Structure 1
């Protein structure tokens, strides 16, 4: 039933099909986007959470044609989807001249798997204050070595991306600060857009791995992205973005993590906040 997803086909993975009878949208999550470890069958895991957020963006854009770039997407993962057809229902909650509020609900086998709230908004003339600057002294990705981790801890979805650690937070180093900095892009090298950034924001190991000596599997419960600008093809034409992830708190089985992304020019692309449920040791997947 499933075909291998070529690394150049991320856009195909988020392409939605329209039901000719009811008009509903559907997608078939590919096994290559599984969060199961490479040494395990991909069917043991579920679809990557950033990929599901990208589907929500695409569903709202396709069904509602908001006419403005996405500014926020906030996802609650209620139950793990299977690698089977996933139905997405998009509704407009409220629309004004410059701003649209939307909701996407994803169903599978009669069960709600995740919900997403989205805001779309047009640019306008206003004052500017941009205090978040890209970390200084970070080399461009071409000058950095690719990330090399053993298959025992690497999820299947990492096959779609190129990872270049940027000097902070190598996993399992027992460091003092739960921070990682890393350049990432999809392997096809196409320009970054909101859906691709949504995937990449959730395409790397948790930042608390930098202060441990072993992996601690974790599942995403809530995920929110705020995009700082319209992600037009000229913003990151070769797909590269520099990410910094920082654990704000990790205790009592939960972790709160923030993420920030910049392009080569040092322009802020977006910020993320993720709530993870840290699982018991021995679990087979992490979102």
Structure 2
């Protein structure tokens, strides 16, 4: 199935968790966020500028329901809340700001790192979960997971293999697309489910992929770590920034 089919909602906000997005700890967090983002953007009728989603529990494969409220629809910006449920239980809660561009000066820059361009090679990353088979993932930053490296940085080129344009829901997947930035520092697999993920959309959408994504982490403490992301289009436009807080669970095995 296509990504659009996997996040599809009917007129009443009903959809389903598809089986192609599972990880060891349930469905991919960015994918779950994309379903709720789809419902919230549809209600707002505007592009997302900021979207935060808290993940309450991992859903199972099967039907889900979205509930969306436009808390305020101003002339320039709308504020929207959303709720994703399964079997009557909350799965994810969202809060988003939706607006167009303002007539204001551009100040500062965040230049794209100089890395080799994406190649024609489309093989999935070794050991990656099945959902990566529908994605372009070509590493350009950081060491391999669980190698005891001295830096918490990962990333590279990312997009959909079918060339689907990257809109708001798709950007949620891209912002959570790589394995956790903390994993290269470790020497064993520690599951890292997301607690909350915020995406700031910094350019008009949709854009054409693949994007260059870089994710970093500074501190893991008490079983939690943060991760910051930056995503650029191939022409060097910063299109999104992200931050998430995630758990760092005991090593498997």
2:21 corresponds in structure 1 to 33
CA distance in 1, matches of 2:134, 2:6: 11
2:27 corresponds in structure 1 to 47
| Cα pair 2:181 2:227 within 8 Å, conserved | yes
1:140 aligned to which of 89, 98, 117: 117
Is 1:254 aligned with 2:224?
A: yes
> Which 4+ residue blocks in structure 1 deviate beyond 4 angstroms?
143-147
1:61 aligned to which of 10, 23, 41: 41
CA distance in 2, matches of 1:170, 1:267: 27
1:281 corresponds in structure 2 to 251
CA distance in 2, matches of 1:14, 1:188: 16
Is 1:149 aligned with 2:119?
A: no
CA distance in 1, matches of 2:13, 2:201: 24
Is 1:10 aligned with 2:12?
A: no
CA distance in 2, matches of 1:143, 1:156: 20
CA distance in 2, matches of 1:25, 1:147: 32
Matches within 5 A, 1:19-30: 24-30=12-18
* Pair 143,25 (structure 1): closer, same or farther in 2 beyond 3 Å: closer
CA distance in 1, matches of 2:163, 2:187: 33
* Structural RMSD (CA): 1.7
CA distance in 2, matches of 1:60, 1:145: 32
Which 5+ residue runs of structure 2 have no aligned equivalent?
none
Q: How many residues align?
A: 253
Q: CA deviation at 1:146?
A: 4.8
SS at match of 1:107: strand
CA distance in 2, matches of 1:146, 1:133: 28
2:185 aligned to which of 211, 216, 223: 211
Matches within 5 A, 1:110-125: 110-125=88-103
1:79 corresponds in structure 2 to 57
CA distance in 2, matches of 1:168, 1:76: 27
CA distance in 1, matches of 2:34, 2:108: 26
Q: Normalised by the size of structure 1, how large is the TM-score? A: 0.83
CA distance in 2, matches of 1:51, 1:145: 21
Is 1:221 aligned with 2:188?
A: no
| Cα pair 1:220 1:275 within 8 Å, conserved | yes
Which 5+ residue runs of structure 1 have no aligned equivalent?
19-23, 37-44
Q: Normalised by the size of structure 2, how large is the TM-score? A: 0.94
Q: CA deviation at 1:88?
A: 0.2
Is 1:70 aligned with 2:48?
A: yes
